[in-house]
Each structure stands twice: as structure tokens, then as C-alpha cells.
């Protein structure tokens, strides 16, 4: 009788579901990539929420001169007092007490922007008690509540006034102006770059893909994506990403897919839940080629291959029906609406509102935005264009948004 040895069961590593990877790599600030709100909470880190809210609130404080809250006395038909929050402050009322209880040490792993620094400097300089909004709702109050309301409102208005004074100081005002000037220069450069392509190509396929690297399996399983000592958040990953996108350019001569790309732009970013990643834009000549989803899928597959299976992507073109203001996909040179939306996306890539940066990455010098050379304008020989080249002007209020989301 022959006894067969039983093979030991193979221990298989769990496979990360695609929608979880997409939620990690996608842009979390609404504008370019569709959202997966049900999966975002799995990787939630309160520091991200606090820093974003704090930076956004201080930007609103900087833009507006009115106090956040005020009392209004009304005599007719009956005497009463109305408490009213300013319109610009209302979105932050539910979160204000949470923000005021934050400590700057919570953000020790990050280089925070001047707006967030001003918030905590104002907290340190505040000589009265910290303002609290719990139980302080808008509405009517009977006479005799003036002293109580004044006692609650004054610290808040004083705190906001102090933030404005600190922001207007030479140190922060100069730093913010420098940052915004850099953002404007980067946007101007990107606009000239895309305009140069439309001068040469009457139709482009605009492809938007987020490129990143998978986190270690153990980190995902144990919900430990925010361990900043992990290689997932290291300078090594940044160097590896830079090396891989350089290979895309070098491999162009012997790869038919890459040869169809006539331009590219990369924005390197770091996310607490996503690590280092790239917002990539690829341009393909749209006259001989029409299927942008095909090229977006093929480039995504090529990234996985180029990173030896360690890469992950989020394909915005596959989800382009989700966008109200569409700035990707096939685009004619005379399509003013789509080209305007494209400029909004380019403005986002050069945004100045970087509220925080991971410290190890803030300490090294690297170009956050990289792009291919603009094509040289061809001679005027040949058939003239049917429409004149439009002068695209970026609107001040319109935003790239998803259906059902903010606009």
C-alpha cells in the first residue's frame, strides 16, 4: 500500500480589491477623479480632515472682512435679539470646536502652510478663553440674553480678527504671495503648453490617469497605511516613481502605444492614504485616433507592467460620464467649453492651496510638475482651419465637478 504525502495548503496572499486601490489612489479633493465615499472611510485619518478644514477656513477668513458672528436687535413687532453667522463662516460652524481643540503637535509629521500656522499662532496669542460654539445656534433670543451672547461671540470675533492680523504680517503675507505667484507661473506655463498642442493638432484625446504604487499588503490588511516609517511613504518611492515615468519617455522609440502620445504632464503629490502618486495627463493626436478610453486603458496596463505589478492606477477617462464640466476625452481645437474645462483641470494641477506636505518630502528638492516640450508650430502651408483659434479665458467661479457633487 502506497501512502501519498499530503501537499501542504498554499498560503495565498489576499488580493487587494480594485475599488479599494482606486479609492486610495484617486484624488480626494473632489475635482479630477470620481469619488468612492464608502471606501474612503476605511483609510480615514483625522489629521487630513483637520488640516484641510483648517486651511480652507483660514482662506475664507483671508477673503472676507466681516466678523463671523453678530447680534442684531429688533424692536418691532416685539423686542428681540437675533444671532446671525456670516455666510462665509456658516460651513465651518459644525467643525469649529473640533478645530479649536486641535494641537499643532498633531501635525508634527507635516510641513503645514502659512494659513494653518496663522491659526495656531492666533490660538497662542489669544488672551481670553478659546471660543466655543457648542449650543450657540442662529436664531432669536429674548431680551436679557445680550450679556450671555456677547460673552460667547466676542472671543470668536476676536480670534478671527487675530488670524487676519497675523496673515497680514510681513512673514506670512510674503510667503503666501510667493506660493501663489509660483502657482500662477506654473499654470501659465501649462496653458501655453496645451495651447501650443492645439496650434499643431486640430483634435486631441486628453487622457487623465492617476499613477501610484500599491501599499504593502500587511498595511492594507491591518489598516496601517499611515505608518510614516514605512517604505510606502519614503523618498525611495518618489525616486522609483520618477524613474518609472522617465522610462515611459525612453521606451517611446520602440513602443507603438507610447509613440502615439504627443505630450504629457505629470504632477507629483503625496497623500497620507495614497503615498507618493502622480496626476498624469497624456495627449494623443485625435485625428487618426478616436477612442480615448482605449488608450487610457492601455496606458494603465502599461504602468502595471512597467512597475512589475507593483503599480496601481485610477483611470479618469473610464469614468468621464460622471463629470458635469468635462475637461478630458476627445477635444476639438474650437470647442471652447471643453477647452475651458481643461484649463480648470490644469489650474488644479498647479493649485496654490497645498495646505500640508509630508516632512521628508518637503525637505528634498524635486520638480512637482513635469511636462514634455511643446511642439513647434507648423508652417501655414496647407488647408486653412475652418474656425479661428479661440482665446480661452479661465472663469473665476466655475469648478470641475462630478454629477451630484459640488459645482
* Model pLDDT for residues 250-288, shown as the tens digit of each residue: 888 888 888 899 999 998 887 766 778 889 999 999 888
pLDDT greater than 50 at residue 27: no
Given a cut of 90, is residue 67 above it in pLDDT? yes
**All cell numbers assigned to 29:** 479633493
| Closest to 280 in 3D by CA, of 305, 304, 299 | 299
Q: How far apart are CA 131 and CA 376, in angstroms?
A: 59
Q: What is the predicted pLDDT for the residue at 88?
A: 95
Residue 22 pLDDT class (50, 70, 90 cuts): very low
pLDDT of residue 34 exceeding 80, the answer is no
pLDDT at position 112 is: 83
Entry pTM: 0.74
pLDDT band, residue 42 (cuts 50/70/90): very low
E strands of 139-222, at which residues? 139-141, 203-213
HSE on the CB side for 248, CA within 13 Å? 28
pLDDT digits (tens, 9 = 90+) for 357-388: 766 666 666 677 889 999 887 666 667 777 77
pLDDT attached to residue 1: 44
pLDDT tens string 311-340:
888 899 888 888 778 889 999 989 899 999
- Separation CA 155–CA 127 (nearest Å): 9
User: How many Cβ atoms are within 10 Å of 351's Cβ, its own excluded?
Assistant: 13
13: left (phi over 0), alpha (psi -120 to 50) or beta: beta
Question: Is residue 153 scored above 50 in pLDDT?
Answer: yes
User: What pLDDT is attached to residue 290?
Assistant: 78
Distance CA 263, CA 277 (A): 19
pLDDT recorded at residue 237:
81
The mean pLDDT value of the chain amounts to 78
Residue 272 CA to residue 43 CA, distance in Å, equals: 9
Can you give the pLDDT at residue 352? 53
Question: Reduced to 3 states, what is the DSSP secondary structure of residue 368?
Answer: coil
Helix axes 146-167, 170-200, angle to 10 degrees: 70
Work out the percent of the chain whose per-residue pLDDT is above 90: 29
Closest of 112, 175, 184, 181 to residue 350, by C-alpha? 184
241 contact partners, CB below 8 Å, separation of at least 6: 211, 212, 213, 268, 276, 277, 278
DSSP letters along 264-282, please? EEEEEEEETTTEEEEEEEE
The x, y and z cell numbers of residue 343, run together, are: 484649463
pLDDT of residue 220 exceeding 70, the answer is no
pLDDT at 205: 94
| Better-scored residue on pLDDT, 198 or 145 | 198
Q: For residue 232, give the 3-state DSSP assignment.
A: helix
Give Cβ neighbours of residue 88 (< 8 Å, ≥ 6 apart). 60, 63, 64, 66
**Nearest to 14, CA basis, from 175, 176, 221, 204:** 221
Amino acid at each position: 500500500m502506497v501512502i501519498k504525502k499530503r501537499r501542504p495548503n498554499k498560503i495565498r496572499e489576499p488580493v487587494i480589491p480594485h475599488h479599494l486601490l482606486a479609492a486610495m489612489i484617486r484624488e480626494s479633493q473632489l475635482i479630477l477623479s470620481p469619488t468612492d465615499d464608502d471606501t474612503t472611510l476605511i483609510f480615514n485619518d483625522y489629521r487630513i480632515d483637520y488640516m484641510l478644514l483648517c486651511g480652507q477656513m483660514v482662506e475664507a477668513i483671508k477673503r472676507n472682512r466681516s466678523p463671523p458672528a453678530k447680534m442684531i436687535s429688533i424692536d418691532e413687532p416685539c423686542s428681540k435679539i437675533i444671532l446671525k453667522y456670516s455666510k462665509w463662516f456658516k460651513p465651518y460652524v459644525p467643525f469649529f470646536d473640533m478645530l479649536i481643540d486641535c494641537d499643532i503637535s498633531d501635525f508634527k509629521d507635516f510641513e503645514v502652510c502659512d494659513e494653518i500656522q496663522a491659526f495656531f499662532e492666533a490660538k497662542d496669542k489669544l488672551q481670553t478663553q478659546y471660543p466655543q460654539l457648542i449650543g450657540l445656534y442662529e436664531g432669536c433670543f429674548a431680551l436679557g440674553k445680550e450679556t450671555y451672547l456677547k460673552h460667547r461671540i466676542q472671543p470668536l470675533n476676536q480670534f478671527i480678527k487675530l488670524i487676519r492680523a497675523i496673515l497680514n504680517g510681513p512673514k506670512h503675507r510674503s510667503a503666501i504671495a510667493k506660493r501663489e505667484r509660483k502657482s500662477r507661473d506654473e499654470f501659465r506655463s501649462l496653458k501655453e503648453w496645451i495651447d501650443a498642442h492645439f496650434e499643431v493638432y486640430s483634435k486631441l484625446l486628453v487622457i487623465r490617469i492617476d499613477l501610484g504604487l500599491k501599499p504593502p499588503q500587511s498595511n492594507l490588511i491591518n489598516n496601517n497605511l499611515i505608518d510614516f516609517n514605512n517604505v510606502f511613504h519614503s523618498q525611495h518611492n518618489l525616486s522609483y516613481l520618477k524613474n518609472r515615468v522617465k522610462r515611459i519617455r525612453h521606451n517611446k522609440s520602440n513602443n507603438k502605444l507610447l509613440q502615439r502620445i504627443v505630450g504629457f504632464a505629470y504632477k507629483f503629490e503625496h497623500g497620507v492614504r495614497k503615498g507618493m502618486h502622480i496626476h498624469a495627463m497624456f495627449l494623443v493626436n485625435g485625428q487618426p485616433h478616436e477612442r480615448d478610453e482605449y488608450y487610457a486603458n492601455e496606458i494603465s496596463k502599461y504602468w502595471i507592467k512597467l512597475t512589475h505589478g507593483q503599480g496601481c492606477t485610477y483611470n479618469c477617462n473610464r469614468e468621464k460620464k460622471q463629470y458635469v464640466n468635462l475637461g478630458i476625452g476627445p477635444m476639438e481645437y474650437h470647442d471652447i467649453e471643453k477647452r475651458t474645462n481643461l484649463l480648470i483641470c490644469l489650474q488644479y494641477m498647479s493649485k496654490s492651496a497645498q495646505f500640508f506636505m509630508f516632512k521628508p518630502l518637503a525637505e528634498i528638492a524635486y520638480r512637482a510638475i513635469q511636462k514634455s516640450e511643446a511642439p513647434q508650430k507648423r508652417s501655414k502651408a496647407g488647408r486653412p482651419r475652418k474656425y479661428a483659434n479661440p482665446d480661452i479665458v479661465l472663469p473665476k467661479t466655475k469648478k470641475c465637478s462630478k454629477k451630484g457633487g459640488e459645482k
